[in-house]
Amino acid sequence: MAQLFEQSKKVIEVHLANTSIRAISGSMVAYEGAVQFKSAGFGGGDGVLAGMKRRATGEKLSLMECGGQGRVFLAVNGQYVSVVNLNNETLQVESQQLLAFAGNLRTDVRFAGVRGASSGQGLFTTTVSGQGQVALLSAGGPLIHLEVSPQFPLVVDPDAFVAARGNLNQSFVTDVSWRSVMGHDGGEAFSLRWDGQGVVSIQPAER
């Protein structure tokens, strides 16, 4: 299986040994060795149905496949990078925060509800399921991983949300009076609430 490493705070290093990964189109900044690049096709390599769902929902995920023998370096607009290991788990992630994934993983689109009246951000999110590694992007700094437990539910600004995994239930908080205090009078109509057991990852900057 190909391996993903955090080469620096803003660059992912991929090790290929006659293996392949999928990554956001245009994210390759350098490579060495016998590496081939091609479009992952309609649906990002997950089939025509996945492509139709993405087009219908507006959850955009344009992927390329990198395969062969060598090293590939990935980055997007100076954003910070993090690698998450999945062991037969499902990761829910905003598609624009997904950089690359390696292993026996499959992507899909999940309806997440109406998050925002002003931007419509996050009506649908991407899920990555199976066993392997996922490289994520974050703006403003490295990802912040917050534990959620039954005793301590978590409320998150939808523009700061990046990913979530575990036995979690998502709901919406309509009391957004805190946004006006923080200067977000024209912002989202909802906040995200997470209950259960798991981890929610946020970025220290809004989209």
Tens of pLDDT, residue by residue over 24-54, are 999 999 999 999 999 875 444 555 455 445 4
pLDDT digits (tens, 9 = 90+) for 87-98: 999 999 998 899
CA distances from 145 to 44, 68, 142, 206 (A): 27, 33, 10, 16
Neighbours of 3 (CB within 10 A): 16
Q: Record the pTM.
A: 0.82
3-class DSSP state of 142: coil
Write the CB contacts of 64 (distance below 8 Å, at least 6 apart in sequence).
Answer: 22, 23, 24, 25, 26, 27, 28, 37, 38, 39, 40
Pairing type for strands 124-138 and 80-93 reads antiparallel
pLDDT digits (tens, 9 = 90+) for 114-171: 544 444 444 568 899 999 999 999 999 999 999 999 999 999 988 899 999 999 998 8
Write the CB contacts of 55 (distance below 8 Å, at least 6 apart in sequence).
Answer: none
